Structure 1
């Protein structure tokens, strides 16, 4: 009984029925149209009108019947086989965008029900792990900030001014790394629905905010609205802009829009990044020597956060050399 409930049994039944139907059609054709031809009439009757052969005669008709029957059966079998796979693929795509997406319905053949049950179980476990990590982040945030704050107050009691300044700098760096790490982990676990957003207005708003702080930033180009995750995209663009301003002191943003892909180019003319290290800078806490060290204020998470925010909405970030020297960060987003 369990074998008859399987996907294999259903496919086998469909093909068996198709073969039987094709042979039944061939048998029916040969039964009605497959008799041997009658003997030729006498000479004196040849001039008379003779009955015409039936319109559906000939071996080609049986072959056409068989081909049509097998084609229809193959179409239904392929649809039966691909439907659960398509449902599983759509559920996996929904899960990648939202951990709270509805579970799969556990219906259909035995293999389909087993796959849906395993998928729903995986979704439940992933959601539990994310919730557990959120609780751990809250605990780390509380338990580490309190002793660091006490330590910062006690540093004020050190009489040596030079030692106090160095220890305060190290402590501020620890607090900065803690804040950046918690913010990075929080953005990783957050889910945000896609919404229509005026990307050009968002970029111009970020540029105006930077200009109000006295930064040398310019923007050019146009872009039509597209579907994105607004908070993630704002974080991505903000990190790219701050990265250029921190290490080059200026930035030029250019918008390129077409029917399929939108590009946001953040260019600077600073020291740039060697080609062999342009992928390594996307790793968490990776920092280059020279101008891109801890004295510049970064903790090595800006580009990591920016790329992961872009990839969560189907985009990506690439780095290339600016003509004339410098670094260009290219944010690519696909229109849906």
Structure 2
């Protein structure tokens, strides 16, 4: 009896030890997707505490290196904005319209790259923590902002899902049911980053097309935001007489 009790206690301790390592490994595995604390604390043996200390040190070094890199990129991108403005003013003085248009297009491309780098550095320096949010409500809010200023952005209702039943000895055909893909879609995400990404896609769709259509496709595990643009009107045909 004493041997059985001792064996049960030993098995319990081993299971608790494995659970501590497993829970810490899961937290690290989901850190990029779900976020995590600045420092980790985990109960457990001395070996696990040493691993947690090493991970915390690595995270501190990574945050410091990221802050330095983001500060350098932000400073360089900000400094490039001044000569870009001077180039635009000087390009306006060029009398050749074709050459002036080409220079202005190059300047627009350069300033767009600068803005994208500034956006990236701001996002890295002010990284928001993931939280539970309504993806449906976020999409509605973004579309409403474009609708308020008269931009042609619409939402495409999701299609219905057909679920097929299993085979049965009492029926020669499989049954099926239709599920309406309506209602609120809740996810874990970063709302500011998601709104910025959707706005960039919609802006590109409006830039290169006549209108933008936003759709939300979901299943049991994933949610996909689809932004489609409608091509420009074809140029009118010229007939010779």
Partner Cα distance (2:153, 2:23) in 1: 50
| Cα 1:172–1:254 shift into 2, 3 Å | closer
- Greater shift in the superposed pair: 163-172 or 123-132: 163-172
Q: 1:78 aligns with which of 15, 18, 23?
A: 15
The C-alpha deviation readout for 1:122-177, integer Å capped at 9, x for no partner, is 01111101110221122112221122222222333434343233222211211112
Number of residue pairs matched by the alignment: 207
| Conserved 8 A contact 1:223-1:262 | no
Partner Cα distance (2:18, 2:153) in 1: 59
Q: Which residue of 1 aligns with 2:152?
A: 215
| Cα 1:112–1:90 shift into 2, 3 Å | same
Q: Does 1:232 align with 2:204?
A: no
The C-alpha deviation readout for 1:57-111, integer Å capped at 9, x for no partner, is xxxxxxxxx4x65344223212123314423542564576557x24234875442
Partner Cα distance (1:245, 1:69) in 2: 71
Q: Which residue of 2 aligns with 1:178?
A: 114
State the SS of the aligned residue for 1:217.
Answer: strand
Q: CA deviation at 1:261?
A: 4.5
Map 1:1-336 → 2, pairs under 5 A: 21-22=2-3, 66=4, 69-90=6-27, 93-94=30-31, 97-98=34-35, 101-105=37-41, 109-211=45-147, 212-215=149-152, 217-220=154-157, 222-224=182-184, 226=186, 227-255=188-216, 261-268=222-229, 270=231
Partner Cα distance (1:160, 1:213) in 2: 35
State the SS of the aligned residue for 2:214.
Answer: strand
Q: CA deviation at 1:189?
A: 4.8
Partner Cα distance (1:165, 1:248) in 2: 21
Between 1 and 2, higher relative CO (CA 8 Å, sep ≥ 6) is seen in 2
TM-score, normalising length: structure 2: 0.67
State the SS of the aligned residue for 1:249.
Answer: strand
Q: CA deviation at 1:248?
A: 4.1
| Cα 1:138–1:225 shift into 2, 3 Å | same
| Cα 1:120–1:214 shift into 2, 3 Å | closer
Q: CA deviation at 1:258?
A: 6.5
Partner Cα distance (2:104, 2:133) in 1: 42
Q: CA deviation at 1:202?
A: 2.7
Partner Cα distance (2:88, 2:127) in 1: 35
| Cα 1:118–1:95 shift into 2, 3 Å | farther
Structure 1 unmatched runs, 5+: 1-17, 23-65, 272-336
State the SS of the aligned residue for 1:224.
Answer: coil
